[in-house]
Amino acid sequence: MTRPTVALIDDDAAIREAVSSLLRSVDLDVLAFPSVAAFLEDKAALDADCLLLDIRLPGQSGLDFQTELQARGLRAPVIFITGHADVPMTVRAMKAGAFGLIEKPFRDQDLLDAVHAALQNDRQRREAERLMKALQDRFATLTERERQLMPLVASGLLNKQIATRLGVSEITVKVHRANLMRKMGAKTLADLIRMSDRLTPYTQG
Amino acid sequence: MEASSGEILAANRAAEDFWGYDAADLRGRPLSDLVDADSVEAFLGAAREGRNFAANSVTIRQISGASHVVTCAARAVHGAWALAFREPGRIGPAHELRRLNYALNAYARSSAALMQTGETRSVMEQVCRAIVGQEVYVLACVALPAADGAPWLDYAAAAGPATGYLDGLRISASAELAEGQGATGMTLRSGAPHLIRDTRKDASYALWRERGARYGVRSMVSVPITVAGATVGALLVYAARPNAFGPTELNLFWRLCQAIGLALTMEQDRRRLGQAEEARRLAEARASAANAQWQRVSRLSFIGEFAAALAHEISQPLGAIEINAQAGLRWLHRPAPDLGEAGAALERIGRDAKRAHEIVARTRAMYRGETAAAPFDLREAVEDVLVITRERCANDRIALEVALEDVGLVLGDRIQAQQVVFNLIANAADALGDVSGRPRHLKVTIRRQGDKALACVEDDGPGVAAEAAERLFDRFFTTKPQGLGLGLPLSRRIIEAQGGRLWFEPVKPQGARFLFTLPLA
């Protein structure tokens, strides 16, 4: 398994170096940038598992940056480091989807806990995304008839009922159904029902 | 004169001179205001009986309060009574006295204007000289209470052949002293003129008789000088003949004394004005002290602002030191301690501590007394700043163009000037942070311009909106979300305190240019 990567953005070189060292000491990879602009230009950084940034970045405030990240479809959790967090700022950051807010000066453990929690969250998100992607990929291999069949099977109709509904023979339904179960990798009807539920937003589309 | 009531119907010039009242003022006055009661009674009795009246010793009372014994004759004229008063036994030929009267009259009339502008002392001297212009008067002087509180009067002005009479002359206003019992003393206390008709006979002159004899003084008069109703001094006139002062002369002296009083009043007013002027000057001085205080306070607040900015700056290396220490420990506490990483963290701690020290040193420099203006090499100072800012520019992918002409030495505070340069470069870099999709340029130049050095920091960032440009140097005005709005006003204050100027120019098609001058050493 590859080591998680944290992208760090802070305009102060000394802080950048210190935090980088701290993160590396717990076996995290770090990509450090002095500015948002520099970060956005780095393709590798866009894949980081967690973003750690100063809320008072020059040129563009951290909160604006977060909005931009979302617009770009980057969903890595963001942890803000702030000199003096106030309630409105915290609320804004959280509403904008920040994973956490760490106030300077911070204890190293607090920062690392926040980063680890963010990475854990990111892993789960990525896993969920991976599963969904696999599901969608399998769904993509279905024929028109099989896709038509899937919600009907999942809703618990018998082959006979489905055959009547679709105006085909019961044998045909049986064959399609076997193909559907195989292609989707569903071992039981319950598996297929779960998959159908997950895919609902996509199938309805 | 209207006989039944004893009221005066009309008076001539001679009557004015006699009593000292204007003719208009005399009209309607009861005779009893001017003449002793017995004489009034005698006259009214005669008038009622329709017979003429004549008396040899009628005592008249002048406006000044002085009394004289005169003769009086009254006769009926068209249903009223005409009263003629005459001075008995006047010394000298009548024409001589008339001349004197004219001279003094003329003087009294013309002097009023003079006194409004002249120095009191010179007015007094002119009065004295005018009086002794008549040879019958051998000495005229103005006596005032001594300014130092001594019991003896000072002689503010004197004229006449007998001026030596005043040498060592002791006269007092005090009733307690023998020297206060003479005519002058009484005048000063009562506010009324006093006559010594014959110095050889008058008992109140006994103390000075020998002295008077030496200088040929035979009669004298003291006339009060009043300011706002209070007697402040006396005009003393000494004559070579006895009984030299008739009611007319006394009235003239009285008028002269009023003129002197007026001059004194003027002088007091002028002094009061002077005091008011002095008070105004004092107030101005106080205001200017307040201004200095304000400047001191604004300097303190400036230092406070700077300290706040530096505190923010110092928190960065301190934070880095703390994190480095924690990271260092973690490297050491790993199952296989990483000495290289731990050592690197320690090195960073040392470096950051040094940076913190430098900031503290800069803070100290801000606190030391007045702006220390000393010649320094501007190019060298700017190069030092560029060492610090180059990294930032490189990190931000800003193309830094530097053209530093050797301008020689400028006069100012090196550290403060560096702070300004640093601030302007940081501002430019901030502005360029908003630029994406095209190269970013930052240009730092210095060159000579006349007797000044001109420094310029220019960027091709988004520039400054027109309405923001007007407020760039206002305190707490900022367009940056994290800005304090202090950098530019502080920078301007620093430069102006060093005799330079700092201003902004927009750059076409885009960007901002900040320039400042410093005087060449």
pLDDT in tens, A36-55: 888 888 888 888 899 998 87
Read off the DSSP letter of residue B121: H
| ipTM attached to this prediction | 0.73
Q: Taking CB atoms and an 8 Å cutoff, what residues of chain A touch B355? A: 14
Enumerate helices (H) and strands (E) in chain B, giving the number of each.
13, 15
Q: Output the pLDDT for position B339.
A: 94
What pLDDT, in 10s, does the model give residues B472-508?
777 555 665 545 455 787 788 888 888 899 999 888 8
Residues of B (333-362) whose Cβ lies below 8 Å from A: 334, 338, 341, 344-345, 348, 351-352, 355
Mean pLDDT of A48-64: 72
Segment among B40-44, B86-90, B416-420, B474-478 with least mean pLDDT: B474-478
Q: Output the pLDDT for position B295.
A: 46
Q: Output the pLDDT for position B361.
A: 76
B316 touches chain A (CB under 8 A): yes
Closest chain B residue by Cα to residue A59: B433
What pLDDT, in 10s, does the model give residues B332-383?
999 999 999 999 999 999 999 998 887 777 666 655 544 567 888 999 888 8
- CB B433 to CB A37 under 8 A? yes
Cβ within 8 Å of residue A104, ≥6 positions away: A81, A82, A83, B315, B319
- CB B341 to CB A19 under 8 A? no
DSSP-assigned letters across all residues of B248-303? HHHHHHHHHHHHHHHHHHHHHHHHHHHHHHHHHHHHHHHHHHHHHHHHHHHHHHHH
Q: Give chain A's length.
A: 205
Q: Given A25, A61, A83, which is nearest B330 (Cβ)?
A: A25
Q: Give strand pairing partners of B487.
A: none
- CB A38 to CB B397 under 8 A? yes
Q: Taking CB atoms and an 8 Å cutoff, what residues of chain A touch B328? A: 21
- CB A35 to CB B395 under 8 A? yes
- CB B322 to CB A105 under 8 A? yes
Closest chain B residue by Cα to residue A26: B330
A110 touches chain B (CB under 8 A): no
What pLDDT, in 10s, does the model give residues B167-191?
888 888 888 888 888 889 989 888 8
Q: Output the pLDDT for position B519.
A: 93
Residue B501 C-alpha, separation from nearest chain A C-alpha, in angstroms: 28
Q: Output the pLDDT for position B447.
A: 94
Q: Taking CB atoms and an 8 Å cutoff, what residues of chain B touch A34? A: 392, 395-396
B312/B324 Cα distance (integer angstroms): 19
- CB A56 to CB B482 under 8 A? yes
- CB B345 to CB A26 under 8 A? no
Please state whether the peptide bond connecting residue B489 to the residue before it is cis, i.e. omega within 30 degrees of 0. no
Closest chain A residue by Cα to residue B330: A25
User: Regarding predicted confidence, which is higher, B178 or B470?
Assistant: B178
pLDDT at A96 over 60: yes
Q: Output the pLDDT for position B479.
A: 61
- CB A61 to CB B481 under 8 A? yes
B453/B314 Cα distance (integer angstroms): 31
B315 touches chain A (CB under 8 A): yes
Mean pLDDT of A4-22: 91
Q: How far is CA B36 from CA B33, B59, B67, B68, in A?
A: 8, 5, 10, 10
Q: Max alpha carbon distance in chain B (Å)?
A: 152
Closest chain B residue by Cα to residue A23: B327
- CB A15 to CB B319 under 8 A? yes
**The token pair that represents B497 in the structure block:** 């305190």
Q: Among B433, B505, B12, B16, which Cα is nearest to B254's?
A: B16
Mean pLDDT of B315-330: 92
pTM for this model (two decimals): 0.42
B275 touches chain A (CB under 8 A): no
What pLDDT, in 10s, does the model give residues B396-454?
788 889 999 999 899 888 777 877 888 888 888 888 887 888 888 999 999 999 899 99
**To probe the interface with B, which of A11, A20, A23, A25 has the most B CB atoms within 10 Å?**
A25
- CB B323 to CB A19 under 8 A? yes
Q: Taking CB atoms and an 8 Å cutoff, what residues of chain A touch B481? A: 56, 61
3-state secondary structure of A109: helix
Q: Given B318, B326, B433, which is nearest A22 (Cβ)?
A: B326
Residues of B (444-503) whose Cβ lies below 8 Å from A: 480-482
Mean pLDDT, chain B, integer: 81
Residue B411 C-alpha, separation from nearest chain A C-alpha, in angstroms: 33
- CB A25 to CB B430 under 8 A? no
> What burial class does residue A92 get, using C-beta atoms within 10 Å of its C-beta: 0-12 exposed, 13-18 middle, 19+ buried?
middle
Q: Output the pLDDT for position A179.
A: 92
